[in-house]
Amino acid sequence: MSQICILGGGFGGLYTALRLNQLPWDKLDKPEITLIDQRDRFVFSPLLYELVTGEMQSWEVAPPYEELLAGTGIRFKQTAATEIDVEAKQVQLQNGETLTYDRLVLAVGGETPMDIVPGAEEFAIPFRAIADAYRLQERLRLLEESAADRIRIAIVGAGYSGVELACKLADRLSDRARIRIVEQTDQILRSSPTHNREAATKALEERGVFLDLETTVESLTEDSISLLYKGSTDTIPVDIVLWTIGTRVAEVVRNLPLKQNQRGQIVTTPTLQAIDYPEIFALGDLADCKDAEGQQVPATAQAAFQQSDYVGWNVWASLTHRPLLPFRYQYLGEMLTLGIDEATLTGLGLQLDGALANLARRLAYLNRMPTLSHQIRVGFSWLTRPIVDALAGNDE
């Protein structure tokens, strides 16, 4: 029996595992598929912001792997890979196990580097995992219950995550919020379509969010942030610092003897295979991939979502002696949440913002959730919640 080992349970890894399970294996050929992740839950990261405002519940955004993989035959191990021997085709796990593979799928998402500014590791909160959302929630709860007149928040980075967090936090905290975004370039959402950038700029202005552009962070303490702007350093008091910049490839991947780019990403063929090691596939944040048309594939959730379909097919094809397919990336547009029940959307010939964009975003993400069972549960929850909330309001 062939062994397929998938490292990382994000959009790339989980969706590859589910795709592999759907493909038509001969009963004698069906491989053993093992999915490995340090966490016990999959995180649908584009909806993590909705936890900050209570618009969604954690089970909707972060369902357990055990639940998603029930009845599939896919084995899940909650641990991490500590070493990969590409010659022996073995993966050493943190729990002491050694797995031998016929096909290896590398889908370990990037890490947020917190050691590039003094104090960031100790005092800033990244926003990638469910644990980060819980940590932020607890900090907000304590501050909201305190006698503080203002809750001062600094968000480092004016990319998607920084802007989306700023709008959600402003809506949650209302007049108590004093939010600033610190960005080292001269504009927010540098790589976004003009419509989305303009909608986001307006949303931030309406919510009174300060923008510190062309500004870098020099250091952090428990209750202050030092900012450098045009040669002058200013230290300001702060209650929460959220760190949304940078991504770094995991050390276990950086140590591999595979062709890598300057950032440590694995260079792949258009079929998403590692150079010189066709039994190893890479996708998502850690893959440097040019697709069948020669276009550079961005390290985004929508790219990983699309790549998983091809990696699943290509792993199956390589084991069943069928032709592999070169990846063809389709840009499906860009969606951002801009506060409670508001969003902006550009793509597929559409430009929307406000409540309509929020509805379109919700439906698009519902369609991309990992299993039909989870889609149905979440969809039912979304439909019935307004009724439940209305009834609860009447009872009061």
Instruction: Check residue 129 and give its pLDDT.
Output: 92
Rounded to 5°, angle at Cα 299 from 294 and 300:
115
Instruction: Check residue 54 and give its pLDDT.
Output: 92
133 and 219 part of one domain:
yes
Q: How many domains does the chain have?
A: 3
Instruction: Check residue 386 and give its pLDDT.
Output: 78
pLDDT one-digit tens code per residue, 251-308:
999 999 999 999 899 999 999 999 999 999 999 999 999 999 999 999 888 999 999 9
167 and 234 part of one domain:
yes
Nearest to 323, CA basis, from 285, 366, 369, 270: 270
205 and 138 part of one domain:
yes
Identify whether 174 is part of a domain: yes
134 and 239 part of one domain:
yes
Read off the pLDDT of each residue in 60-83 and give the average, rounded to a whole number.
Answer: 96
Instruction: Check residue 299 and give its pLDDT.
Output: 85
Output the six-digit token pair for 19.
């795709």
137 and 230 part of one domain:
yes
In eight-state DSSP terms, residue 81 is E
Distances (CA, A) of 126 to 53, 129, 345, 348: 17, 8, 25, 32
Instruction: Check residue 393 and give its pLDDT.
Output: 65
Whether 389 shows a pLDDT value over 80: the answer reads no
85 and 133 part of one domain:
no
Please report which confidence band the pLDDT of residue 396 belongs to, taking 50, 70 and 90 as the band edges: low
Contact between 264 and 256 (Cβ < 8 Å): no
Question: Number of C-alpha atoms within 13 angstroms, CB side, residue 36?
Answer: 23
Read off the pLDDT of each residue in 81-89 and give the average, rounded to a whole number.
Answer: 96
Query: Which burial class, exposed, middle or buried, applies to 94 when counting CB atoms under 10 A from its CB (0-12, 13-18, 19+)?
Result: middle
Could you give the percent of the chain with pLDDT greater than 90? 88
For residue 277, the enclosing domain spans: 3-38+79-111+248-319
Identify whether 381 is part of a domain: yes
Output the six-digit token pair for 319.
């084991």
Q: Distance (Å, rounded) from C-alpha 35 to C-alpha 107? A: 10
Instruction: Check residue 26 and give its pLDDT.
Output: 85
Instruction: Check residue 395 and give its pLDDT.
Output: 62
What's the whole-model pTM score? 0.92
Instruction: Check residue 28 and give its pLDDT.
Output: 72
